[in-house]
Amino acid sequence: MLIFANSNYFHDLLGSFSAGVVILNSQGLCYAANDAATALLGYSAGELADPGLSAAIIARVDAPRRVARFLAAPLKHSRKPEPVGIAYAHPDGSLRRFRLSGSLLLENHKIFGILIEITDVTEIYRLHERERSMLLGIQAVQRERIESLGQFSLAVAHQIRNPLMVVGGFAGRLLRGKAADDPEAEALTMILDGAKRLEAVVQAVSAYARRREPTPALCDPADLATRAFGAAALRTGATARLALTVATGQLLTDASLVTEILTELCANALEALCGPNGPAAGNGVVGLTFAWLDTAVSVTVTDNGPGPDEAVLAFAFDPFATTKAVGVGMGLPMARRRAEDMGGSLTLARGAQGGGLARLVLPAQPTI
C-alpha cells in the first residue's frame, strides 16, 4: 500500500477530488492530503502529516470530542463513522463549516486506514442563518404589530366604555321612571339592551387584547375538567353527562387559563347539544379526555350533537363570528388566544363518529 500511496497515480487521484480528502493510517496520523484539504484546513500536506501539530489542528474544531468519536469508529471499533458537522477556526481568522464523512480503507479484510472527505458547507450554513434571521425579524415585526393592535384595541375600548356607561346609566334611570305601558318604555328598553350588548363587546375586546402570562403550578386534571364543566353548565343552563378520561398524572400548567379554555369548549359543546338535531333530552354526553403526546398534553372535548357545519368551521375562531341570534362571538377566539398565550394550540373539527371535536394541545412534561 505504501508503494501505491507514493505513486503519481495516487496523488493524481487525490487531486481529482473537488472536496478535501485526508487519509489517515491505522494510528490516526495523516500520510496524504489533496490540495483542496490543505486549502480548507489552512495547513500544508507536510504540516498535516506532522504528529506534533495534530492536537493544535483538532483544537481549532468547535467540538473536539465529536471529532474524536468520529475517528474512533474506524480506528478503534472497526466500523464506518457517521458523518458529522463541525465548525472550524481557519488560520486566516475565518470560521468555516465542514461536513466530515469517512470511508474505511481495507486490505485483505483488514483496516489499514481511513479516508476522510471534507465538504465545505459554509455558504449553505450562512444562507440558513440569513433565512433564520429574516424569519426571526418577520416574527418580531408580527409580534410588535399584534402588541400595537392590542394596545390600540384597549385604548378604543376604554374610550367607548366611558360614554357607553353614560348612555346606559341615563337610559336605565329614565326607564325606572316610566310605567310599563308608557310608549317611551319600549324605546328606552331597546337603548338599554343595546348598551348592555355593546358593553359585553367592549369587555370581550379588552380581554382578548390583553395578554395573560401563564403561572404554572401542579394541578389535578380531573379537578380542572369538573370545574370547567360545572361553570359551562351554569352559564348555558344546559344539562348533559360528563364522560371524563384522564390518562395523565398531575399537570404542571396554569390552572386558571386551562379552566377558562375548557369552560368555553364545554359551553360550546353544551350549546351544540341543545341546538336543532341534537340528542333527546337526557341523552347528551360531553367527553373530556386528557392524554400525553410526547412532550405535550392533549385535551379533547367531544359531544354527541349534530357536529359543526363545514361552513361554520372556516370562521369558528374569527372574532365576533357567531351563529347565535344574541351573542358576542368571542368565546372560541378567546379560548384560542389563551391557548397561544400558553404556547399551545386549539383546533375544532367534526368528530369521526359525528359531533364536535375540540383539541387543545399544551406543552407539558409528565410529573413524578
pLDDT recorded at residue 62: 92
Domains of the chain with bracketed CATH: 2-120 (3.30.450.20), 126-209 (1.10.287), 217-363 (3.30.565.10)
H helices, E strands: number in the chain: 12, 12
C-alpha grid cell, residue 12: 493524481
Query: Residue 158 corresponds to which cell in the numbers above?
Result: 376604554
Q: Mean pLDDT score of the chain, rounded to an integer? A: 83
Torsion sign over Cα 172, 174, 176, 178: negative
Predicted local distance difference test score (pLDDT) of residue 224: 95
Q: Give the pLDDT confidence score for residue 1 in this predicted structure.
A: 47
Residue 84 three-state SS: strand
Per residue in 248-304, pLDDT (tens digit) is 889 989 999 999 999 999 999 998 888 777 777 778 899 999 999 878 999 999 999
Work out the average pLDDT over 335-362: 90
What's the confidence (pLDDT) of residue 245? 95
Amino acid 43: pLDDT: 93
**CB-based burial, 229-256: b 16+ in 10 Å, e otherwise:** bebbbeebebebebeeebebeebebbbe
Average pLDDT value for residue range 62-88: 87
Percent of the chain topping pLDDT 90: 28
Dist CA 196 CA 114 (whole Å): 80
pTM of the model: 0.53
